Amino acid sequence: MFVVLLLVAGLPGCQPGGENGGGTQKSNGEAIRVAYITNGPASFWDVAEKGAQAAGRDFDVQVDVFMPTDDVAGQKRIVEDLLIKGIAGIAISPIDPAGQTDLLNSAAEQTLLLTHDSDAPESQRLCYIGMDNYDAGWICGEVVREALPAGGKIILCVGRLDQLNARLRRQGVVDAVLGRTPDATRFDEPGKSITEGAYTILETRVDGFDFAKAKADAVDSIAKYPDLSCFVGLFAYNPPLCLEAVKEAGKLNQIKIVGFDEDQTTLQGIIDGEVHGTVVQNPYMYGYDSVRVLAALARGNSLEQALPGEAGITMIEQKKKFFPARVVKKQPAAEKRTTAHGLEIEEVEVEAFRARLNELTQ
């Protein structure tokens, strides 16, 4: 039996093969095949794919994983092709939830549809599996303030802002850094410089999931702002590329780096003292639970039966399943702490985290 319970915080476990397992077929005898669609290729999604395929083995379903390289058009082509060929269920991370509502609703009418990583709450999706991205962004902002206790000038780097998760995540960082009252409905324009007290958000660089542009944005930011204090990389590939740019500029002692996700280069940067810390999600469980839930639904279970599982926080009325964000650092706090507005922050040690991650994904 496959058991994930050995993992430390940040990679919560589950014991698959429970009440929703058993058999490779639907109740009508057809084999179950589901699709897991990401928003693009990245190391984050490599981890999620491992989880999705593990669930496929544990719950006896065929899993096809797609990582489109051509943005919204790629997701549209993949979904339409799957619907034509016939698919029992689709789990998708929508790139542009507002612009993709018709596509998602069409899919929901023809198959089981859930969202993961980034939600499309106005669509007819059955549920969302991921995290509260505003809260995760807020936690990241707390890490930035810790890295810059006397204040400083900050650049945010992100792949897209059309995605709901990215928009919420970025706003959480901005609000926490500037010491505001939490408000997930707030939105500051990405090109606008904002100052509160000792902290300034200079701008947000949006690279369109283009790795070369992401690196160029970091290089340009260092040249444009000689007194830059910190990069915050909000997609998995952003922190490593920011680190490259800072090293090449010889400014490791001046510019702090705070990251998101568990890219191996980011983790090594934390070990080497070059990255202050990173906020991690749980991509393995995004993949695992997406497939587990689709398999259970395909076998006739209700959402109330399928969604809970053995890990994460289930909000059945909201049709959501959250895996809370955590902070990975070289020297983590021994105990959890709570922010002024009640948000709990847990830190984990980087070498232990990486060892468990490697064990899980090899």
pLDDT digits (tens, 9 = 90+) for 273-284: 999 999 999 999
- Contact, 175 vs 239, CB < 8 A? no
Q: Can you tell me the mean pLDDT for 7-11?
A: 37
Hey, which residues does 205 pair with through a beta bridge? 157
∠ Cα 199 168 245 (to 5°): 55
Q: How far apart are CA 39 and CA 247, in angstroms?
A: 29
The closest alpha carbon to 116, from 259, 294, 300, belongs to: 294
Burial 231-264 (b: 16+ CB within 10 A, else e): bbbbbbbbbbbbbebbeeeeeeeebbbbbbbbbe
For 133-280+327-361, CATH number out of 3.40.462.10, 3.20.10.10, 3.40.50.720, 3.40.50.2300 equals: 3.40.50.2300
Q: What pLDDT does residue 362 have?
A: 80
Q: What pLDDT was estimated at residue 27?
A: 53
- Binning the chain into helix, strand and coil, the percentages to the nearest 5 are 40, 20, 45
* Complete DSSP assignment for 211-240: HHHHHHHHHHHHHH-TT--EEEE-STTHHH
Residue 111, both tokens: 């198959």
Q: Band the pLDDT of 21: cuts 50, 70, 90.
A: very low
Q: CA 346, 349, 351: angle at the middle one, nearest 5?
A: 150
Phi, psi of 147, rounded to the nearest 5 degrees:
-70, -30
pLDDT 10s digits, 286-345: 999 999 999 999 999 999 999 999 999 999 999 999 999 999 999 999 999 999 889 999
User: What is the C-alpha to C-alpha distance for residues 8 and 4, in angstroms, rounded to an integer?
Assistant: 10
Same fold yes or no, 33-131+282-324 and 133-280+327-361: yes
Q: For 34, phi and psi rounded to 5 degrees? A: -130, 160
pLDDT at 78 over 50: yes
Looking at residue 321, its amino acid is K
3-state secondary structure of 320: strand
Question: How distant, in Å, are the alpha carbons of 45, 107, 199, 287, 300 from that of 113?
Answer: 19, 7, 42, 14, 14
pLDDT in tens, 188-246: 999 999 999 999 999 999 999 999 999 999 999 999 999 999 999 999 999 999 999 99
H, E, C per residue of 158-186: ECCCCCHHHHHHHHHHHHHHCCCCCCCCC
Query: Structural domain boundaries of the chain?
Result: 33-131+282-324, 133-280+327-361
pLDDT of residue 31: 84
Cα 129 from Cα 313, distance rounded (Å):
10
Number of alpha carbons in the 13 Å side-chain half-sphere of residue 208: 7
Q: Could you give the maximum distance between any two Cα atoms of the chain, in Å?
A: 66
Residue 106 and residue 79: Cα distance in Å, rounded? 10
pLDDT at 62: 98
CA angle 272, 274, 276 (to 5 degrees): 105
> What is the DSSP secondary structure assignment for residue 70, as one 8-state letter?
S
Mean pLDDT rounded to a whole number for the chain: 92
Residue 6 pLDDT > 70: no
Fold of 33-131+282-324: Rossmann fold (3.40.50)
Lowest mean pLDDT among 11-15, 100-104, 266-270, 342-346: 11-15
Q: What is the pTM of this model?
A: 0.89
Vertex 218: Cα angle to 216 and 221 (nearest 5): 105
d(CA 182, CA 192): 19
| Torsion angle defined by CA atoms of residues 36, 39, 44 and 49, in that order, rounded to the nearest 10 degrees | 10
